[in-house]
Amino acid sequence: MNILGIETSCDDTAVAVVNSDGEILSNVLSSQTEFHAKYGGIVPEIASRKHLELISHVCFESLEKAQIKWSDIDLISVTKGPGLVGSLLVGVEYARGLSVVLKKPIKGINHMEGHLLSPLLTQKVPFPYMGLVISGGHTEFVLVEKSGKYLKVSSTVDDACGESLDKFGKQIGILYPAGPLIEKLAIEGNSKAYQFPLPKVKKDPLAMSFSGLKTSVMHVITSLSSEDLLKEKQNLCASYQYALFRHVLVTAKKVVLKYPVRALTISGGVSANMNLYKTLSDGLSVPVFKPAKKLSTDNAAMIAYAGFLRFKAEGPDSLNFEVFSNLPLASYNTV
């Protein structure tokens, strides 16, 4: 069975073909990042227009790379939220149209579910597992009992981890997305050079908070002369990254203690960070899985595969499923 995945929730137009064995036949992405850079951020109306311009090209390229024809597609899977509605609608309407002209079933998928299930694409992960989605927009732990059965058990109450890295990066002159360069610089620095407090959220011991750490590091940055800041860049990156990931690890330990699971997975942009993977693997008693690098950020292969798993479990969606800018994956289990 071949599944065509379409993802247009934000500013990347992505189309992928995945088969029912989880093999990725193609995974094409056309990024608008450079285009939006000149406006200093994503302009929703321009993003959706670009999706409309690009969707056919990206789709054809994906079929070509997968070396298949339209008639070889058995299922269409598309992101239905959360995201920018105008952008989502382009992908969803194109997918609905394909479903009618190809006479093939369709599945609308939650973008977060795509991230959460993405580690399953390249390896066998035992259920139940704890999924940590850690990106520029999210930092949360979700208990995955099986595909389709989720319980959010911990989340950040303010900034997302990737967002904290990006904001810190901006202060020391690293362009968005800052995560990859911070990781590189941190390797050359001393993670003990600066000490930052371990955040605590009073009302909810399982919740995370990153904004306090950001304030602490800003104090250090402003106290340094520009000369010293240049010299201390590596040490700052190493210490700040250490503080963020230690907070994630401490929370992960509490979470897996409360909800016994057979594994922990990490996905989302920050999961590309090797130091995060090592911190969690060394510090936890359960095995840790991460998706292949190309699957950690937004992509359509994860949407295709999540669509396949949902289709197998519950059959197709009706053509008139709704599109949501805000689409919670699971209810939040407050403690």
Partner 1 sequence: MFDILLQTVLASTEISLYENLKVIESIKKSSLQKSENTFVFDLYCLMQKQKIDIKDIGHVWVVNGPGYFTGIRTGLAISKTFVDVLQIPIRLINTFQWLETGISDCKDTIKIFIPSSAREGYLGFIKNSVLEETFLVLTKDVLKQKKIGFENALIYTNDKELAEQKNMTYIEPKFTLPSVFEEVETTRKVIPEYFRTEDQLFKKQ
Q: Are 295 and 115 in contact (CB under 8 A)?
A: no
Q: How far is the CB of 297 from partner 1 (least distance, A)?
A: 24
Residues 6+ positions from 17 with CB-CB distance below 8 Å: 2, 3, 4, 5, 24, 25, 26, 62, 63, 65, 66, 68, 73, 304
Please tell me whether residue 114 binds ligand ATP under the rule CB under 6 A.
no
Candidate residues 137, 148, 283, 316; the one interacting with ligand ATP per rule CB under 6 A:
137
**Segment lying near ligand ATP (by CB under 6 A), choices 44-52, 211-219, 268-276, 282-290:** 268-276
| Nearer to ligand ATP among residue 95 and residue 174 (C-beta) | 174
By beta-carbon proximity to partner 1, the closer residue of 43 and 181 is 43
* Residue 165 found at the interface with ligand ATP (CB under 6 A): yes
- Residue 334 binds which entry of ligand ATP, partner 1, none, with Cβ cut-offs from 5 to 8 Å by kind? none
| Shorter beta-carbon distance to partner 1: residue 45 or 314 | 45
The residues that bridge with 144 in the sheet, in sequence order, are: 129, 150
269 is in the binding site of which of partner 1, ligand ATP, none (Cβ under 5 to 8 A by kind)? ligand ATP
Identity at 271, one-letter amino acid code: S
Instruction: Evaluate whether 258 touches 211 at the Cβ level (below 8 Å).
Output: no
Give the span between the Cα atoms of 114 and 122, in whole angstroms: 14
Query: Cβ closer to partner 1: 100 or 230?
Result: 100
Which residues sit opposite 152 in a β-bridge?
A: 142, 332
| Positions that interact with partner 1 (CB under 8 A) | 43, 45-46, 48-49, 52-53, 55-57, 59-60, 70, 85-86, 89-90, 92-94, 96-103, 318-323
Asked whether position 91 contacts ligand ATP by CB under 6 A, the answer is no
If one asks whether residue 179 binds ligand ATP (CB under 6 A), the answer comes out as yes
| Of positions 144, 178, 208, 304, contacts ligand ATP by CB under 6 A | 178
Determine which residue in the list 113, 159, 166, 232 makes contact with ligand ATP, applying CB under 6 A: 166
Q: Which helix (H) or strand (E) holds 289?
A: strand 288-289
Nearest to 129 by CA among 291, 288, 318, 306: 288
Q: Which tokens hold the place of 273?
A: 């960070």
Nearest-angstrom CA–CA distance, 242 and 269: 17
Q: Which of 2, 13, 87, 135 binds ligand ATP (CB under 6 A)?
A: 135
Encoded one letter per residue, x for contact with ligand ATP by CB under 6 A and - for no contact, window 294-323 reads ---xx-------------------------
Work out the number of other CB atoms within 10 angstroms of the CB of residue 93: 14
Asked whether 14 and 8 are in contact (CB, 8 A), the reply is yes
Contact between 139 and ligand ATP per CB under 6 A:
no
263 CB-near residues (< 8 Å, 6+ apart): 125, 126, 129, 130, 286, 287, 288, 289
Site residue total, ligand ATP (CB under 6 A): 20
Q: Amino acid letter at 169? A: G
Pick from 128, 180, 283, 316 the residue near ligand ATP by CB under 6 A: 180
Give CA separation, 332 vs 142, 151, 198, 283, in Å.
Answer: 9, 7, 24, 25
From 92-100, 161-169, 254-262, 301-309, span contacting ligand ATP (CB under 6 A)? 161-169
Q: Say which amino acid occupies 184.
A: K
Q: Tell me which of ligand ATP, partner 1, none is bound by residue 229, counting a contact when its beta carbon lies within the kind-specific cut-off of 5 to 8 angstroms.
A: none
Residues near ligand ATP, by CB under 6 A: 10, 135-138, 162, 165-166, 177-180, 183, 268-270, 272-273, 297-298
